[in-house]
Structure 1
Amino acid sequence: MSFLSTAFSRQLLPVFLLSMGMTTLQAQTINVRLQPSPEAPVIDKHIYGHFAEHLGTCIYGGFYVGEKSTLVPHTEGVRNDVIEALKKLKIPNLRWPGGCFADTYHWKDGVGPKEKRPTIVNQWWGGVTEDNSFGTHDFLNLCERIGAEPYLAGNIGSGTVQELADWVQYVNFNGVSPMSKWRRENGRDKPWNVRYWGVGNEAWGCGGHMTPEYYANEYRKYATFMSDWGNSSKIFRIASGASSGDYKWTEVLMKNIPLNLLEGVALHHYAVVDWNKKGSSLEFNEEEYAANMRVTWQMEELVREHSKIMDKYDPKKKVALVVDEWGAWYDPLPGTNPGFLQQQNTMRDAMVAGITLNIFNNHADRVRMANLAQTINVLQAVILTDKEKLLLTPTYHVMEMYNVHQDAKLIPVDFKAPLFIRGKDSLPAVSISASVDKAGKTHISLVNMDPSKIHTVQLDLGKAMKSVSGRILQSASLKDHNSFEQPEKVKPRAFNDAKLKDKQLSLQLPAASVIVLELQ
């Protein structure tokens, strides 16, 4: 059974629902109060970061088509349409080269003349052989073109302290040294001044199956030799953090790593119900949808509980919680390489993105960086490519609508969400976050993840506003998605149904929708 939407007229909805054996929609009123506070944090733009791993066709065939390609317009091998799409998305940072791939990657194999670079077998993702034609220069130059800060994931699983220290020197040192000399010989005079560095990845798993105690000691050693080389922007070292609810991992890291060696602690959480049977990215029923939403909402608990542990050792909140892998993960599309993790992206994924970003916004005091997995063709991608074709997914549109929150001051919101109940799952149906930017514009992002109920929202703005405008992402079914045959089936449109009267704002929040409002 397909999911329902307010794409049908309200007059026809009761008849339609009764014909499907369902009850008539009942709109519930939600009273929301905006509570501006001088103590509220700024929503760090880096919450809206992305992730590009050497996995499937994310890099080769996604970002990079090669410098000899005549099929796709490119700049030094990087697709021009990808560059333009990511610039519009305003992505603040991009994480590379992994993921699990990071702890098998030796960066020196990816610099210098491309014809002389050794090949590498991607043992984690499909067992394919890569030629290392996309390396450090290609990635860092790409980041410059799209206006994103690079986030390099260092190899501590199969690498050495010297190897990582050399990488820092190669990309960041402007003086005379063996690595800066080599960089100049390879065509780059000035350093890139990379600020964000991951010290390994998933050290509890594919990064070495370490204990937290062992990893904490390894981190201390590696972090000690990662000099900032006198850059004006101090290097930002991010420890390989916990998987979902592994609170012991965070406890051990915060207890055993001196705060002067630590700028961020990572957290990975995917919206996966059953790791042995993740389910289809296209075919799902309401019970499966509810289960997906339950593990999406789990992010709220994870952020809150990991933050409590960090608060115990870092009450001034100097160390950031960096959720550098998040998103929905389903079974690979039939007929694709199972190691490539290729899936479609539906309106269900738009719900995942909207709810998760609202959670991050509302916890901006501790969550100061995050990375959606992944950018192109892999997992909850924002872009899909097929040879010369490119499309933008529903997740792309949510992140583009939400980028108004970047570096804006959080406005705490107070409301009681109605419940979405399916089977054993009883979940908040509505998610909201709000902010005010430097120009004084207020933005409110709202998600109604209930596929069959409209909700009336009454907002007490706290002060008089003169105008309201907005955009909505919604489609006739939660299964709707963009394909290369219909690349614009799901896209934002203007939302003009919000009614503003002095300090009060009212609107009907349609079923299965994401709305972003702007008030002045």
Structure 2
Amino acid sequence: MSDAVVSAVLNVDVKGPVISRHVYGHFAEHLGRCIYGGFYVGEDSDIPNAGGIRLDVVEALRALNIPNLRWPGGCFADEYHWMDGIGPKEQRPSMVNTHWGNVEENNHFGTHEFMALCELLGADPYISGNVGSGTVKEMSDWVEYLTREGDSPMVRLRKANGRQEPWRVPFWGLGNEAWGCGGNMTAQQYAAEARRYGTYCRDHGDNRLYRIAAGANSDDYSWTEALMKQLGDLGCAYRPQPFYQALSLHYYTIPGTWQDKGAATVFDTDEYYRTLVKAAHTDELLTGHSNVMDCYDPGKSVGLVMDEWGTWWNVEPGTNPGFLYQQNTLRDALVASLHFDIFHRHADRLVMANIAQTVNVLQAMILTDPDSGALVLTPTYHVFEMNKGHQDATALRVDLLSDVPAREVGPDTLKTVSLSASRKDGKVLVSLSNLDADGAADVELDLRGGIVGEVVSRILTAGAPQTHNTPDAPAAVAPRSHEQVTVTGTRVRVHLPAHSFVTVQVDVA
């Protein structure tokens, strides 16, 4: 059987919307070993650290050009009271993390530690405030504490805790999952609360908050409409009120049921394809929510933020079920690569996305071994690294000249070749995924409107989709040079082995 061949045209001189670097954002919640034992090991740890922040984790994430980090949650955000996490550590009160394992934590990682982490990473902070169990004053005070200069009660408190100058905080979440763990509100209840909280989250000095309202779960389009209505009237004359500047959206790739989501590393071919069908559904969701927003805001002045996405499996056997620790295979990497192709196509409305989560939780970039201290980069990490050239690049439209191979998966159809492209600094970056578990494919790209120069290609694959990295085999799934690329004039032909992710960087004059 011959390989499938896909032909496509890229007009490299036709500019599309800019792919915000923030769609490559990350998420760190007080959940399991994401913060404690992941990012934060304490100042007395034998692991090299800066103020308790693990430096090899910082180094690995800086290699991704990490653009932003969302904290402290997640569901944890709406039970977190920031005042408990400032001041001398020995004086900070402990708290019970009722959402995740019912464990006690000592609040040693708080506001100053998070801001120090962001500074080490070179990442913009994205803070989610407490709407569910907090108050408007509490959130307003936190913004003032972080971002105001001069003299005020919160400024004096910050200075007493060792920070003279304010921080820059661009992104601010008005709660989290208000339809569920963030308060079990109706859309109308939360829309009114978002309007109120957004009013009192002030801009101090030259710090301008980009306020993000807690948006919909999956396909709840009525929730999105309720939030858009709070900002102004329907129609082309839409001039949104400044209560918030964006809406969030949460969607996880779960091929099983909520009670039995499936195993991270033990799965058959049917489960593999069901997973990718669920991941591909992201395109329909982004289209649906964007369509609702377009009815009110055709000028696209209000952003869409997918600040929780990724795979969610049953926890690894023998681990705390409330810690959401799962392994990460080549299948997860292809879920990520498929998401990024979708995100690039929605660059006109999607301004940020945050994978859940960065370390030791759900679809993590990094796994740390609690016994040996070893750090493992996951297959998903490598997709982020291979794709980082898309950050703040101009999206290029991909025009297909042939049918894309597809597979019937139950009642659904999965296109098994996915691709997207962008241009920045004289280089075109093309990302290609072959989702077929067994069959190879070839993609022939005609790069029109430019002169093709040097071509560099890399591939991420392994013997089976179940392959994953461990402390004993840290590079079982790792990128390598891809030689199965041929160039003829403006045509670049790329061979895609089964279950593979490939990037092709082309110098274009």
Q: Which TM bucket (shorter chain)?
A: over 0.9
- Map 1:172-251 to 2 at 5 A: 172-231=147-206, 233-251=207-225
1:75 to 50, 55, 76: 50
CA distance in 2, matches of 1:458, 1:262: 44
Equivalent runs, 1:51-62 vs 2, <5 Å: 51-62=27-38
Matched, 1:458 2:444: yes
- Equivalent in 470, 483, 487 of residue 496 of structure 1: 483
1:262 to partner: Cα distance: 2.0
Query: Is 1:270 aligned to residue 257 of structure 2?
Result: no
C-alpha distance in 2 between matches for 1:130 and 1:493 = 41
- 1:324 to partner: Cα distance: 0.1
Q: Could you tell me how far 1:461 is from its partner in structure 2?
A: 0.7
Give 2:11's match in structure 1, choosing from 16, 31, 35: 35
Q: 1:304 aligns with which of 273, 287, 294?
A: 287
Matched with 1:50 is 26
Which of 445, 459, 481 aligns to 2:431? It is: 445
Q: Retained in 2: the 8 A contact 1:327–1:373? A: yes
Distance 1:428 1:180 in 2: 55
Q: CA RMSD in A?
A: 1.1
Given that 1:26 and 1:453 are in contact with CA atoms closer than 8 Å, whether structure 2 keeps it comes out as: no
Counterpart check, 1:412 vs 2:387: no
| 1:230 positional shift | 2.4
**Structure 2: segments with no counterpart, 5+ residues:** 233-239
1:500-515 equivalences in 2 (<5 Å): 500-515=487-502
Deviations 1:427-462 (A, max 9, x none): 01011110001x111000001111111111111111
Shift of the alpha carbon at 1:257? 3.0
Q: Percent identity?
A: 51
Q: What is the distance in 1 between the residues matched to 2:160 and 2:27?
A: 29
Could you say what secondary structure the match of 1:370 adopts?
strand
Q: Secondary structure at the match of 2:408?
A: strand
| Deviations, residues 219-264 of structure 1 (Å, cap 9, x unaligned) | 0100001111121x42100000101111111011111234222211
The letter of the residue matching 1:278 is K
Question: Structure 2: how far apart are the matches of 1:450 and 1:26?
Answer: 14
Give the letter aligned to residue 457 of structure 1: V
**Secondary structure of the equivalent of 1:517?**
strand
Where does structure 1 lack aligned partners over 5 or more consecutive residues? 1-24
1:329 and 1:379 in contact (8 A); partners too:
yes
The separation in 2 between residues aligned to 1:426 and 1:146, in whole angstroms, is 40
CA contact (8 A) 1:466 1:502 kept: no
Superposition deviation, residue 38 in structure 1: 4.9
What code does the residue aligned with 1:272 have? I
Matches for 1:213-362 after TM superposition, within 5 Å: 213-231=188-206, 233-258=207-232, 259=240, 260-273=242-255, 274-362=257-345
TM normalised by structure 1 equals: 0.93
Rounded Cα–Cα distance in structure 2 between residues aligned with 1:158 and 1:406: 36
Aligned residue number for residue 429 of structure 1: 416
The separation in 1 between residues aligned to 2:144 and 2:310, in whole angstroms, is 33
Distance in 2 (CA, whole Å) between partners of 1:66 and 1:144 is 17
CA contact (8 A) 1:216 1:257 kept: no
Letter in 2 for 1:318: S
- Identify which range, 425-434 or 92-101, moves more after superposition: 425-434
Q: 1:420, CA displacement in angstroms?
A: 2.5
What is the distance in 2 between the residues matched to 1:333 and 1:466?
Answer: 47
Instruction: Find the residue that maps to 2:452 and give its secondary structure.
Output: coil
Matched letter for residue 420 of structure 1: R
- Matched residues in 2 for 1:505 and 1:238: separation? 41
Matches within 5 A, 1:460-499: 460-462=446-448, 463-499=450-486
Query: Is the CA contact 1:101–1:124 (under 8 Å) kept in the aligned structure 2?
Result: yes
Q: Could you tell which deviates more after superposition, 488-497 or 130-139?
A: 488-497
Give the drift of 1:89.
1.1
Write out aligned runs for 1:89-104 (5 A).
Answer: 89-104=64-79
Instruction: Quote the offset at 1:36 in angstroms.
Output: 4.2
Structure 1's 38 and 255: CA in aligned 2 closer, same or farther, altered over 3 A? farther
